[in-house]
Amino acid sequence: MDQVREKPWLAHYDPGVPPEIQVPDIPLWRFLEESARRFPQNVALEFLGKTLSYQELWGLARRFAQGLKDLGVRPGDRVAIMLPNSPQFVIAFYGTLLAGGVGVNVNPLYTPRELRHQLADAGAETLVILDHLLPRYLEVEKEVPVKRVVVTGIKDFLPFPKNLLYPLKAKRDGLPLGFPKREGFHAFAELLKRPPAEPHVPDPEDLALLQYTGGTTGLSKGAMLTHKNLVANVLQIDAWDPTSKDLVGKGVMLGALPFFHVYGMTVAMNYGLFSGYKIVLLPRPEIKAIVEAIEKHQVTHFPGVPTLYVAFNNFPGIEKRNVKSIRICLSGAAPLPVEVAKRFEELTGARLIEGYGLSEASPVTHSNPVLGLIKKGSIGMPFPSVDAKVVDEEGKELPPGEVGELAVKGPNVMKGYWNRPEETQKTLKDGWLFTGDLAKMDEDGYFYIVDRKKDMIIAGGYNIYPREVEEVLYQHEAVQEAAVVGVPDPYRGETVAAFLVLKPEYQGKVSEKDIERFCRQNLAAYKVPRIIQFRESLPKSSVGKILRRELREEFAKKQG
């Protein structure tokens, strides 16, 4: 009973979900090896018509590992991977681990400036990159430590005749193909001709991944995630979902979330491979391709972000599409508006549960239950083996209902930030990871993110949480997407600004005054947006998170 009193959420776990998980001392790549042994002929990856079985994928990852070793990659060396979701991404990441290397996820949308920072900061001497993206690297190659570049093209893993037609299309679209024929450049396909490597067996506490975090506070930092961290998070996800046991070796995972983002990597790629699922890879999370993939492959798992579910709900003719195969969807990376979840569940019959995580925790720490009570607007309860608390400015634990900073602890929490001891000390204290998110816990142990510490608006002395205002805006029938930020105000210090995308059928028919009137009916006067702007789109990160900071900056520029 003590444990339940101390951790009230344990009383609300689904039947069969354990309070703790055992984390075996294994490398992350063991999951792929095990699935290749259990399901050798099952399809592991499906990519634009091309399939790879588990046996083939395991063999290719080991060949790639040998290729890296032959090029001089040694245990502990950082290998940067700048690829979209594709077989090459999975092979390169698992091949890196099998060679004893440390993966460094690089966003394919990075500008040369961002790329330079990350490669230099990580000390990456090896880069695996898509040929289309090479010009960006060539701009900074003299300023980074990279010694060897492994280049692949989308066509390398396309089925016949797409592999022959693709170069013609790329040429027509003005996309660069191939790579310089000079020292230090190698073809991905050549490395796959090596004999399979003997896997390197690391210590579980050895680094597996440097995951660079968004950089909203300046330059991005590398979260050091170990084999143990990543193994633990996959096993926590598995323990959390008692309904998926009958899908092992049969489920279909939609790989639409980018794998270079730790949420896509853990929930779609690593958990998908651990479970022996077919992973349907989409190089870009475009809604038309997503709907078609769900229909064609009878997808059972669709992890996503709120903007993807918004796009799904508003996809023309979605009511008539065959999307009932979906069983479960975990939404993360940003708050899930209640109305969006409700509509998605009506359309699919699936369970859409909001969770929470951050790069520093591999990433998932909380989720609503798969079977039990989903509390709308809540991120749910801590995962097995995760402890969580809400603390005040001094780090003292607060009682239920009070707002403070969320801190978490568990086997999935990072070692620290790469080469940043001061930042590590600020964020990790006695094993607790201080998230920078403002939260509260209710009596049942369900947690609610109130907002990012730095997104909170202080207007005329009042604390206003953008998320609360956004939830109200999403209830308006005309609103497709909403973002609320604080902007400077000479009288109140800050004031509330709302940026909205209207549904197509309401454009030109709903005014700013209509929105303001609706807000006044549902919010205290000081929370009502004083500035309301309609836009065609909202700025988003590569994983689909709405970028409030950009909206603030744009607004400031316009004000001069």
Spatial separation of the C-alpha atoms in residues 73 and 76, rounded to whole Å: 9
Spatial separation of the C-alpha atoms in residues 287 and 77, rounded to whole Å: 37
The answer to whether position 500 is within a domain reads yes
- pLDDT value of residue 216: 38
Nearest-5° angle of CA 241, CA 35, CA 259? 70
Closest among 128, 98, 90, 30 to 280, alpha carbons compared: 90
Tell me the CA end-to-end span of the chain in Å, nearest whole number: 60
Contacts of 232 (CB under 8 A, 6+ apart): 21, 23, 362, 385, 410, 411, 412
Boundary (domain end) residue, out of 154, 181, 203: 203
Closest among 351, 283, 345 to 312, alpha carbons compared: 345
Boundary (domain end) residue, out of 148, 171, 203: 203
The separation between CA 91 and the C-alpha centre of its own chain, rounded to angstroms, equals 19
- pLDDT value of residue 3: 54
The answer to whether position 197 is within a domain reads yes
The answer to whether position 95 is within a domain reads yes
- The backbone torsions φ and ψ at residue 93, rounded to the nearest 5 degrees and listed phi first, read -70, -50
The answer to whether position 176 is within a domain reads yes
Spatial separation of the C-alpha atoms in residues 234 and 411, rounded to whole Å: 11
Helices (H), 336-406: 338-348
User: What is the DSSP pairing of strand 364-367 with strand 381-382?
Assistant: antiparallel
CA dihedral angle for residue 330, residue 333, residue 360, residue 554, rounded to 10 degrees: 180
Residues 118 and 80 sit within 8 Å (Cβ to Cβ): yes
- pLDDT value of residue 111: 83
Relative orientation angle of helices 87-98 and 54-71, to the nearest 10 degrees? 60
Instruction: Quickly tell me which residue has 């092979």 as its tokens.
Output: 91
Residues 334 and 304 sit within 8 Å (Cβ to Cβ): no
The answer to whether position 18 is within a domain reads no
Total tally of structural domains belonging to the chain: 2
- Which residues of the chain have a pLDDT value below 70? 1-5, 214-219, 453, 560
| Tokens standing for residue 2 | 């003590």
Residues 159 and 48 sit within 8 Å (Cβ to Cβ): yes
The answer to whether position 344 is within a domain reads no
Whole-Å CA distances, 102 to 68, 123, 202? 12, 11, 11
CATH number at residue 78: 3.40.50.980
- The backbone torsions φ and ψ at residue 296, rounded to the nearest 5 degrees and listed phi first, read -65, -40
- pLDDT value of residue 219: 67
Cis link prior to 363 (omega < 30° from 0)? yes
DSSP assignment, residue 157? Answer: G
Q: How many residues does the chain have?
A: 560
- pLDDT value of residue 169: 82
The answer to whether position 417 is within a domain reads no
Taking the CA atoms of 283, 284, 289 and 291 in sequence, report the sign of the dihedral they define. Answer: positive
Spatial separation of the C-alpha atoms in residues 226 and 414, rounded to whole Å: 7
| Tokens standing for residue 83 | 């690829």
Question: For 173-215, how does the pLDDT look when each residue is reduced to its tens digit (9 = 90+)?
Answer: 888 787 888 899 999 999 999 999 999 999 999 999 999 985 4
Instruction: Quickly tell me which residue has 């700025």 as its tokens.
Output: 539
529-553 as b/e, with b when 16 or more CB fall inside 10 Å? beebebeeebbbbbbbbbbbeebbe
Q: Tell me the β-bridge partners of 428.
A: 433
Spatial separation of the C-alpha atoms in residues 555 and 448, rounded to whole Å: 29
**DSSP letters along 27-84, please?**
-TTHHHHHHHHHSTTSEEEEETTEEEEHHHHHHHHHHHHHHHHHHT--TT-EEEEE--
Q: Which residues form the domain of 531?
A: 460-559
- pLDDT value of residue 489: 84
SS3 content of the chain, % helix, strand, coil (to 5): 35, 25, 40
- pLDDT value of residue 477: 95
Cβ atoms within 10 A of the Cβ of 172, count?
Answer: 8
The answer to whether position 147 is within a domain reads yes
Boundary (domain end) residue, out of 177, 203, 229: 203
